[in-house]
């Protein structure tokens, strides 16, 4: 199973015309109704002081405000206190603000991945070394059901800031910490998946439809609030 880390960013500028096989030649939408234009650009992750201990007072909900609307997440503070402590620290520091969600998958794996200011899939908070996994699911069908919010990683104990939002029941190796549940905004993610994702061919510089790539409808995290 491919780790939940996207390939290095080739280009975040979407070319006007998508190339696709003849069977998919019919015109496809490139935007989701209601989404505003993005203003964020990839940038170096800011330095945030990493919490050394689990917070005794954690928020119950997180609201991610995007250019396409808000995603409300119920935080699983009891099941994943370390992860929620780290994510809360990043949110309070505005680490996620003005960042782009860099990966959308639409075949077998159904997620939108965010939390990397570099928009490359390799960014993490400056100075953080990674922290342990917790609240891992059983190894069974649909162990990451629709609405799940979990950490992306490149191996055990490598959690940082990247996370993924599951919009349709998905089965994965039980290696990704589950720390939240989407209570509002899942409808937008489903619409985003209908528009799809793309990759840029390095040889010709053109964008091609793909089941794993950058969202065709760009998604920018404007702000994150906690309650």
The DSSP bridge pattern shows strands 18-19 and 207-210 to be parallel
Confidence label for 19 from pLDDT (cuts 50, 70 and 90): low
Model confidence over 130-165: pLDDT tens digits? 999 999 999 999 999 999 999 999 999 999 999 999
Q: Has residue 48 got a pLDDT over 50?
A: yes
* Mean of pLDDT over the chain: 91
Within a 13 Å sphere around the CA of 179, how many CA atoms are in the beta-carbon half? 28
The DSSP bridge pattern shows strands 99-100 and 18-19 to be unpaired
Instruction: Evaluate whether 48 touches 117 at the Cβ level (below 8 Å).
Output: no
- The pLDDT value given to residue 22: 35
Q: Give the integer Cα–Cα distance in Å for 138 and 156.
A: 16
Confidence label for 18 from pLDDT (cuts 50, 70 and 90): low
Distance of CA 47 to the CA centre of its chain: 20
Domain ranges of the chain: 59-226
Model confidence over 102-136: pLDDT tens digits? 999 999 999 999 999 999 999 999 999 999 999 99
- Mean pLDDT score, 91-105: 98
- Mean pLDDT score, 36-58: 97
Model confidence over 210-225: pLDDT tens digits? 999 999 999 999 999 9
Q: Give the integer Cα–Cα distance in Å for 35 and 17.
A: 20
Confidence label for 28 from pLDDT (cuts 50, 70 and 90): confident
Query: For domain 59-226, is the CATH number 2.40.100.10?
Result: yes
C-alpha torsion sign, points 31, 160, 62, 184 = positive
Q: Has residue 27 got a pLDDT over 70?
A: no
Q: Has residue 16 got a pLDDT over 50?
A: no
């Amino acid at each position: 199973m491919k780790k939940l880390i996207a390939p290095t960013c080739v280009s975040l500028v979407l070319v006007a015309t998508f190339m696709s096989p003849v069977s998919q030649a019919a015109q496809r939408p490139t935007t989701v109704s209601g989404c505003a234009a993005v203003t964020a650009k990839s940038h170096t992750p800011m330095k945030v002081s990493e919490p050394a201990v689990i917070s005794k007072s954690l928020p119950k909900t997180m609201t991610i405000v995007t250019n396409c609307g808000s995603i409300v997440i119920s935080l699983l503070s009891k099941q994943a206190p370390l992860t929620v402590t780290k994510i809360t620290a990043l949110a309070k520091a505005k680490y996620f603000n003005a960042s782009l969600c860099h990966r959308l998958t639409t075949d077998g794996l159904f997620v939108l991945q965010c939390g990397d200011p570099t928009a490359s899939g390799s960014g993490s908070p400056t100075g953080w070394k990674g922290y342990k996994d917790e609240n891992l699911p059983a190894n069974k069908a649909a162990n990451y059901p629709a609405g799940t919010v979990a950490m992306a990683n490149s191996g055990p104990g490598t959690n940082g800031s990247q996370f993924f939002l599951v919009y349709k029941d998905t089965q994965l190796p039980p290696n990704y910490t589950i720390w939240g549940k989407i209570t509002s905004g899942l409808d937008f993610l489903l619409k985003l998946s209908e528009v799809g994702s793309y990759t840029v061919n390095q040889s010709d510089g053109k964008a091609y439809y793909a089941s794993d790539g950058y969202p065709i409808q760009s998604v920018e995290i404007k702000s994150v609030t906690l309650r």
